[in-house]
Structure 1
Amino acid sequence: MAEHWHAALELLLSDEAPGDGRRGRRTERALRAAIRSGRIPPGTRLPSSRDLAGQAGVARGTVTAAYRQLTAEGYVRTRPGSGTFVAAAVPPAGTTPTEPPPDPAPAFAFDLRTGIPALSEFPRAAWSSAAKRALTALPDSALAYPDTSGLPALRSELAAYLGRVRGVAAASEGVLITHGAAEALALLAQSLRDEGHRRIAVEDPCYPGQVDILSGNGLEAVPIPVDESGIDVGALRRSGCRAVVVTSAHQYPLGVVLSPERRHALLDWAARDDALIIEDDYDAEHRYDRPAVAALQGLAPDRVAYVGTVSKTLAPALRLGWLVGPSRYHRSALRRKELLNRGGSVIDHATFATFLRDGGHDRHLSRTRRKYRRRRDALVEALAAHLPGWRPTGVAAGLHVVVRLPPGTDDSALAARMAGAGVNVIALSRYMRTAAAPFPGLVVSYAANTPDRLRAAVDLMARTYRTATA
């Protein structure tokens, strides 16, 4: 088995492009991909850390950290005295490896992964009330096959809401209700592919699941650096791409805001190059010390496709998103959605329309903003008290904080060590498309934990860090 694995590992590593990151990260990615694809079957005994380090040409500690990370994610299991084995059940092929999959039995004392709001704050009573009122008001005819664009009442409410809250310029007929933001991005990628695009620019760092959607729909993702002012528009021009995905209001994951100068430069690039900007406005409702900047779409509706979702405000399980795009992309996306699923759930659309119209959404956001701000403050204060060398970066917004670690820290190895201690955080380097992150960091979510739990998590992180660096 070991001889077979040694040969297989060389083949796996050869699939990784030489410029695609450090050797240690390439080894981790190769192992993960091979397990998920089934090339390494469940129950397979993996090489010892010493043997694998020799094969991969990395330090043994790097392999140990990779094994810890894969263990934390549920891909492998360690049997004392026997070795490391591929788990009997692993995430299926085709799902995104961005973050550890949810475990029915919590594997971490403190789960600080990103992307999940405080699910316990979901307004169950208000939503149920809205659902009852919406269903009572729906005529029988509305229960037939739906309008592919989405329930007209919801499109009208959303157009008004987005115009009021985000400065989006859209009439109700220009709004397409989607199955979450993921479907909106997939529909746009397919439309771009139909137009002849083969490459699309993405921010670096960015959400890896975004890249998976783009590549899964036939587009090569080209990374463009992000700094404290947002995406580097000069590098974007030099890339030759004629489409880009940006998180301009609150860059994911760095948390910076696209500067006014970069906003104007980006819009100028789109106009000059006849290009499309896809604006992923994933969490603009969550601002704690300043108003959110207006959406880019309102400045150039013919050049910007606006994508939004309730996954960060209400719950991902609702699978409600929307797309407001230039007319030619709207028509193309609508045709594809008609072929794909003929629209969404009329009852869910009617419920959300009622929830918006009656002020339930505004009241929910007002309440959760206060809670999230207190939780963010508690996290930042605890870091200052227990880990003063760790510096939070980005604006006070969203559901997460990027923590800048001391220079020279291996953030991937540290995240693996934290996972072993029971704290689930994500290394900033895992969001990078190029070789190195702008700085070593951890991406830490605070939304789903109370202030007391966040303080306890930081205490455990500090003790784990001190032990690692002693």
Structure 2
Amino acid sequence: MTKAGGGLDLHLELRLDPAQAIGRALEQALREAIRTGRLAAGARLPGTRSLAGDLGVARGTVVQAYSQLVAEGWLVGRPGAGTQVAAVTAAPTNNPVARRVPGFAAPHGQQLDSKGLEVLSLQAGRPDLSSFPREVWGRAVRRVLAGSASESFDYAPPEGLLVLRNAVADYVSRARGVRAGAGDVVITAGYSHGLALLARTFRELGMDRVSMENPGLARHRKLVAAAGLEVSPLSVDASGADPDGVQGQVAVLTPAHQHPRGAVLAPERRMKFVEWAKDGFVVEDDYDGEFRYDQQPVGAMQALAPDRVIFAGCASKALAPGVRLGWLVVPPVLRKPLLQAMTSTGSGVSAIEQLVMADLITRGDYDRHIRKVRLEYRRRRTELAERVNTVWPHSLQGIAAGLHAMLPLESAEEERRVIDVAQYGGLSVHGLHTMGYWHTEDDSQPAALVLGYATPPPHAWRTALDRLTKVLQATNPARQDG
């Protein structure tokens, strides 16, 4: 019996096997206490020194046990708050194995699988949410609230506050080579919001067809189709989207780092799209343009034709999707109809968030944060590539950039099988077929995992990588053939 912080009695039954180390027995006892609900979510555990003294073991034994359970998601270590039980679900009293609870949110938005393991995520499209600069953001909020005039908190104009438009124009010009002034920038609630507004604007201007990359994100196609526009597939290869297949009056591209294939749009193809855009428009989705690891990022396509290319950026990958801040750099001919679309839909962005974002950019905090997480993501991608090369017959596809990489598979059937095995092993991943990247369901299309290596929090990254390794070892076709 030990006494935890806050007066909590902690009863641990250490079932010692002659062949089992005391540390393993301690891990097992703590898991069992959490599984059965005897240790509730949020319960604070004794300090390592205190528990070691009560149990008569070395402090390092307790430290190692706590660290292992933190990595597995059973415990959460918070600076200044000690070690606490994570938000896991208790098993029924007649079944010692925790069962998955659909929709149950465990730490970092993850779930539990049928074995009681925390399901770690390698799904693409998200940064490490734990990297969000809370203290920096908080200081910016306090500065904004203390230093802004009362009028700043009135309804913001549809195009966004001038202070943020100035900051964004400076940032994208400096960091991405965009040709922009404050008058060219429109602030949105993220890229999806901006794309939906653009689609509505194109429809109001009499356009009826948009070409979108194939493979590409299904939800973006749905946003465009919801505005009444027909979507045409634009094939993608190692050189990016193929301009020879463009149809309609608009092309939506990810030229700096095609999602999901990871290709850079080849220079000759850029020029072909620019030439085509003399009679149409290109939407340049620069969703992760700041994250290039092997060389300097490719400059924005918008600079080649600022009167025909709409540059779209956002803070979702650099900060967090929940910030809901994005920006469009639009040609003059589109500015008025776009603002009319914003007004007619009643859409806009919180003035306070705009002021905070402007503060972060102008003070250099936004750049400093990007440089910090860029180093971490570059390290993770390198580790992922090295690990994959040891257990899989194919290497990662795509340039060393962004927050995801693509791992080719032999078939759609293999893709589904690997994903099922991963889920059973406590790892959530998705693929080209399972997430609807292809415009039409066709199992003859290439298959691949789309691995979001930025997604896991730092304490879970190595565990996620280890689980992926085991999944690939178990499903390696060469190993099975042998």
Task: Give the 3 Å change call, closer, same or farther, for CA 242–116 of structure 1 in structure 2.
Answer: same
How far did residue 276 of structure 1 move? 0.7
Query: 2:139 aligned with 1:129, yes or no?
Result: yes
431, 437, 444: which one aligns with 2:451: 444
Query: 2:465 aligned with 1:458, yes or no?
Result: no
426, 430, 445: which one aligns with 2:430: 426
Counterpart AA for 1:428: L
Q: Match of 2:396, SS?
A: strand
Residues of 1 paired with 2:194 and 2:449: CA distance?
29
How do residues 84-123 of structure 1 correspond to structure 2 at under 5 angstroms? 105-107=111-113, 109-123=119-133
How far did residue 285 of structure 1 move? 0.6
Correspondence for 2:216 = 206
Residues of 2 paired with 1:414 and 1:368: CA distance?
29
How far did residue 244 of structure 1 move? 0.9
Correspondence for 2:382 = 377
Correspondence for 2:264 = 257
Query: 2:347 aligned with 1:333, yes or no?
Result: no
Query: Is this contact kept in 1: 2:421–2:471, CA < 8 A?
Result: no
Correspondence for 2:68 = none
308, 312, 334: which one aligns with 1:307: 312
Correspondence for 2:225 = 215
Residues of 2 paired with 1:256 and 1:88: CA distance?
38
Residues of 1 paired with 2:220 and 2:475: CA distance?
31
**Which is worse superposed, 120-129 or 140-149?**
140-149
Counterpart AA for 1:249: A
Task: Give the 3 Å change call, closer, same or farther, for CA 412–89 of structure 1 in structure 2.
Answer: closer
150, 153, 161: which one aligns with 1:151: 161
Query: 2:420 aligned with 1:416, yes or no?
Result: yes
How far did residue 325 of structure 1 move? 1.1
Query: 2:406 aligned with 1:402, yes or no?
Result: yes
How far did residue 116 of structure 1 move? 0.8
**RCO higher in structure (CA 8 A, sep ≥6):** 1
Identity of aligned residues (%): 35
Residues of 1 paired with 2:334 and 2:174: CA distance?
24
Query: Is this contact kept in 1: 2:209–2:230, CA < 8 A?
Result: yes
How far did residue 391 of structure 1 move? 1.7
Query: Is this contact kept in 1: 2:110–2:119, CA < 8 A?
Result: no
Residues of 1 paired with 2:352 and 2:313: CA distance?
20
The number of residues matched between the two structures is 368
Counterpart AA for 2:462: D
Listed as ranges, the gaps of 5+ residues in structure 1 are 1-86, 91-101
Residues of 1 paired with 2:347 and 2:411: CA distance?
52
Counterpart AA for 1:141: E
**Which is worse superposed, 416-425 or 135-144?**
416-425
Residues of 1 paired with 2:323 and 2:412: CA distance?
41
Query: Is this contact kept in 1: 2:403–2:452, CA < 8 A?
Result: yes
Counterpart AA for 1:217: A
Q: Deviations over 1:52-87 (max 9, x none)?
A: xxxxxxxxxxxxxxxxxxxxxxxxxxxxxxxxxxx9
Counterpart AA for 1:152: L
Counterpart AA for 1:393: Q
Query: Is this contact kept in 2: 1:153–1:353, CA < 8 A?
Result: yes
Query: 2:283 aligned with 1:281, yes or no?
Result: no
Q: Match of 1:251, SS?
A: coil
How do residues 134-213 of structure 1 correspond to structure 2 at under 5 angstroms? 134-213=144-223
Correspondence for 1:27 = none
392, 395, 398: which one aligns with 2:396: 392
257, 276, 290: which one aligns with 2:295: 290
Correspondence for 2:239 = 229
Residues of 1 paired with 2:101 and 2:138: CA distance?
39
Query: 2:322 aligned with 1:317, yes or no?
Result: yes
Counterpart AA for 1:278: V
Residues of 2 paired with 1:436 and 1:220: CA distance?
23
Residues of 2 paired with 1:141 and 1:103: CA distance?
38
Residues of 2 paired with 1:225 and 1:413: CA distance?
26
Query: Is this contact kept in 1: 2:121–2:464, CA < 8 A?
Result: no
Task: Give the 3 Å change call, closer, same or farther, for CA 103–157 of structure 1 in structure 2.
Answer: closer
Residues of 2 paired with 1:408 and 1:149: CA distance?
44
Q: Match of 1:351, SS?
A: helix
Q: Match of 2:450, SS?
A: strand
How far did residue 414 of structure 1 move? 2.6
Counterpart AA for 2:228: G
Query: Is this contact kept in 2: 1:270–1:303, CA < 8 A?
Result: yes
Query: 2:370 aligned with 1:365, yes or no?
Result: yes
Residues of 2 paired with 1:361 and 1:211: CA distance?
30
Aligned CA-pair RMSD: 2.3
How do residues 338-349 of structure 1 correspond to structure 2 at under 5 angstroms? 338-341=343-346, 343-349=348-354
How far did residue 232 of structure 1 move? 0.9
Q: Deviations over 1:136-168 (max 9, x none)?
A: 121011112112111110000000000001111
Residues of 2 paired with 1:428 and 1:457: CA distance?
20
Counterpart AA for 2:143: R
Task: Give the 3 Å change call, closer, same or farther, for CA 459–252 of structure 1 in structure 2.
Answer: same
Q: Deviations over 1:222-244 (max 9, x none)?
A: 101101111111111xx3x1111
